[in-house]
C-alpha cells in the first residue's frame, strides 16, 4: 500500500491524541494568549489546550478522553458556573480543576462546594500549573495505582510495504516476551494492520478471536476481556490478531484504538504495535503515545525516499524525534553496494540505530513455519542483530 498525500490535511483536521494521563485545558482566547504553559508534558500529564468560551458547552469527545479537565470558570457569569456544575454531575469520577481569574475566598468556596479537585489562578504560570498537577498526580498515585499505566508502547512503522517490518517485529516481540517473563511481566503484540496483517501467521498462532471482537466489545472491554481475547505463542507473547476479513482503516476511531492500548498498558509490561502503511488519525496518535517508534527501511531509493516523507510528517505533527529509531533491514554483506548505511544516514538526516543482515531463505522459512529463527538455525546472523535491538530497547526504556 502507498502513502497517502497529507499535504492538505496537516494543520486542518488532523489531530493527535498523545500518551500518558491526558489533561485537557479549556480556555477562552484571551486566557490562551495570556497563559504561560511551558512543556507539553508536566508532572507525568500530557497537556492539550482547546480554545473555548467560558460559557460554551464542552464537547463530549474532550470529556471522554480526559483523565483531568482544567476548565475556565467566570464566577460572575451564571452560565459559566452552571456549565461546571453540570460537568461535575455528569462525570463524578473525572478530576476537574477550575481555572479562575481574580479569585476570592467566596468564589473559591463556591467552586469547592461544586466538587472540583482544585482551583488554579489565571493567567497560568508554569510554576502554578506544575505545582497543582504535581499534587494531583501524587493523589492519583496514592489512591489509584491500578489506573496508572506502567506498560511501555513500541510501534513499528514501514517506509513502504514489503520492507519486512512485520517479520522483524514478530521475531523481536517473541524474544522480548521471554525477557519480560524473567522480570515478572508480560509482553503483547497488537496487529493493527487491519487490511494486510499477518503477525499471527508468522508467529504460528491460530487465534479464535481477533481485533474485531475487541472493537465490537466497545465500552465493555476491561482487563479480563483483553486477556481472554489474546492468543499466546510458545514464547509467551500475547497476540491480538488483525481481523480475519479486511476492514476500512477509518472504520475505527482514535478514541477506540487509544483506549484499547491504554488498557493494555495497565495489563502488560511491553506493548508492541504493528501499524499499517497508510496513515490515519489513530495511527498517528499511537505513534505519538509510543515510548519507542521503529521505522523500518531498506537500502533502496524508493524506501529511503518514503522514509524521508514519513519523518517529515511526524516532525510536522510534533512527534518527539527522540522516540524514533531507524532499522535498516536486509543489509547484504558484500563489498560493493550502490547504497550503504552511511548513504542512508545522510539521506534521512538521522543516524541509523540498527541494521539487520539479509538472509531471505532463513527468514522466509521461519515465517512460513511460524517458528523462531533459532529453532531452524541455532546460530545465525539475523538473531545476532536482533539481540542488539533487544538490548537497545532495554537501554531506551531504562531496563536492565
182 with 282, same domain?
yes
CATH number where 79 lies: 3.40.50.2300
**Model pLDDT, residue 319:** 85
**Least reliable range by pLDDT among 52-56, 303-307, 391-395:** 52-56
In the chain, what is the straight-line distance between the N-terminal and C-terminal CA atoms, in Å?
A: 38
pTM score, two decimals?
0.70
161 with 90, same domain?
no
Q: What separation in angstroms does the CA of 21 have from each of 69, 155, 309, 392? A: 11, 19, 30, 26
Asked if the structure places residue 390 within a domain, the reply is yes
129 with 212, same domain?
no
The residue out of 147, 174, 201 marking a domain boundary is 147
184 with 134, same domain?
no
Residue 75 contacts residue 111 (beta carbons within 8 Å): yes
**Model pLDDT, residue 145:** 44
Place of cell 514464547: 235
Higher pLDDT, 140 or 213: 213
The residue out of 108, 128, 147 marking a domain boundary is 147
- Split at pLDDT 50, 70, 90, the class of 38 is low
- Structural domain span for residue 334: 152-396
Q: CA-to-CA distance for 396 and 71, rounded, in angstroms?
A: 36
Asked if the structure places residue 9 within a domain, the reply is no
DSSP per residue over 134-177, as a string?
A: HHHHHHHHHH-GGGS---EEEEEEESSTTSSHHHHHHHHHHHHH
Across 308-335, average pLDDT: 91
262 with 390, same domain?
yes
**Model pLDDT, residue 15:** 56
The count of domains in the chain is: 2
Asked if the structure places residue 4 within a domain, the reply is no
Q: CA-to-CA distance for 375 and 329, rounded, in angstroms?
A: 21
90 with 210, same domain?
no
Asked if the structure places residue 49 within a domain, the reply is yes
Relative to beta strand 292-297, strand 324-331 is parallel
CA 281, 207, 233, 229 torsion-angle sign: positive
Q: CA-to-CA distance for 302 and 284, rounded, in angstroms?
A: 22
Q: CA-to-CA distance for 12 and 102, rounded, in angstroms?
A: 35
The residue out of 118, 147, 176 marking a domain boundary is 147
Dihedral through CA 369, CA 374, CA 378, CA 383, nearest 10?
130
Q: How many residues does the chain have?
A: 400
80 with 214, same domain?
no
CATH number where 343 lies: 3.40.50.300
Q: Report whether pLDDT(91) > 80.
A: no
Burial classification of residue 275, based on how many CB atoms lie within 10 Å of its CB (0-12 exposed, 13-18 middle, 19 or more buried): buried
234 with 288, same domain?
yes
Over residues 241-267, the pLDDT tens digits come to: 999 999 999 999 888 898 899 889 989
Q: What separation in angstroms does the CA of 293 have from each of 188, 254, 272, 275, 392? A: 16, 18, 10, 11, 12
Amino acid at each position: 500500500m502507498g502513502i497517502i498525500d497529507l499535504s492538505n490535511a496537516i494543520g486542518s483536521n488532523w489531530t493527535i491524541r498523545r500518551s500518558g494521563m491526558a489533561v485537557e485545558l479549556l480556555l477562552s482566547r484571551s486566557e490562551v494568549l495570556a497563559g504561560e504553559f511551558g512543556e507539553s508534558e508536566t508532572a507525568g500529564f500530557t497537556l492539550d489546550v482547546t480554545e473555548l468560551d467560558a460559557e460554551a458547552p464542552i464537547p463530549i469527545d474532550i470529556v471522554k478522553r480526559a483523565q483531568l479537565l482544567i476548565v475556565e470558570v467566570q464566577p460572575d457569569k451564571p452560565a459559566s458556573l452552571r456549565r461546571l456544575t453540570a460537568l461535575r454531575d455528569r462525570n463524578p469520577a473525572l478530576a476537574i480543576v477550575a481555572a479562575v481569574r481574580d479569585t476570592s475566598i467566596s468564589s473559591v468556596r463556591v467552586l469547592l462546594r461544586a466538587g472540583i479537585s482544585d482551583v488554579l489562578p489565571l493567567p497560568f504560570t508554569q510554576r502554578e500549573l506544575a505545582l497543582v498537577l504535581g499534587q494531583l498526580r501524587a493523589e492519583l498515585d496514592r489512591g489509584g495505582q491500578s489506573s496508572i499505566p506502567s506498560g511501555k508502547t513500541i510501534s513499528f512503522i514501514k517506509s513502504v510495504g514489503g520492507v519486512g517490518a512485520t517479520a522483524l517485529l514478530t521475531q523481536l516481540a517473541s524474544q522480548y516476551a521471554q525477557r519480560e517473563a524473567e522480570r515478572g511481566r508480560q509482553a503483547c503484540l497488537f496487529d493493527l494492520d487491519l487490511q494486510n496483517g499477518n503477525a499471527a501467521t508468522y508467529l504460528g498462532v491460530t487465534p479464535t478471536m481477533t481485533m474485531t471482537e475487541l472493537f465490537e466489545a466497545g465500552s465493555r472491554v476491561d482487563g479480563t476481556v483483553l486477556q481472554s481475547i489474546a492468543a499466546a505463542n510458545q514464547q509467551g507473547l500475547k497476540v491480538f490478531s488483525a481481523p480475519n476479513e479486511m476492514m476500512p482503516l477509518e472504520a475505527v476511531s482514535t478514541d477506540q484504538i487509544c483506549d484499547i492500548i491504554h488498557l493494555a498498558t495497565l495489563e502488560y509490561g511491553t506493548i508492541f504495535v504493528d501499524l499499517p502503511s497508510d496513515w490515519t488519525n489513530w495511527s498517528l496518535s499511537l505513534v505519538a503515545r509510543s515510548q519507542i517508534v521503529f521505522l523500518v527501511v531498506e537500502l533502496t531509493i524508493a524506501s529511503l525516499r518514503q522514509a524521508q516523507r514519513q519523518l517529515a510528517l511526524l516532525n510536522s505533527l510534533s512527534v518527539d524525534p527522540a522516540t524514533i529509531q531507524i532499522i535498516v533491514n536486509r543489509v547484504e554483506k558484500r563489498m560493493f553496494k550502490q547504497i550503504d548505511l552511511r548513504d542512508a544516514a545522510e539521506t534521512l538526516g538521522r543516524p541509523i540505530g540498527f541494521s539487520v543482515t539479509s538472509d531471505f531463505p532463513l527468514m522466509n522459512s521461519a515465517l512460513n513455519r511460524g517458528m523462531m529463527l533459532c529453532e531452524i538455525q541455532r546460530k545465525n546472523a539475523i538473531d545476532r542483530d536482533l539481540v542488539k535491538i533487544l538490548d537497545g530497547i532495554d537501554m531506551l526504556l531504562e531496563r536492565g
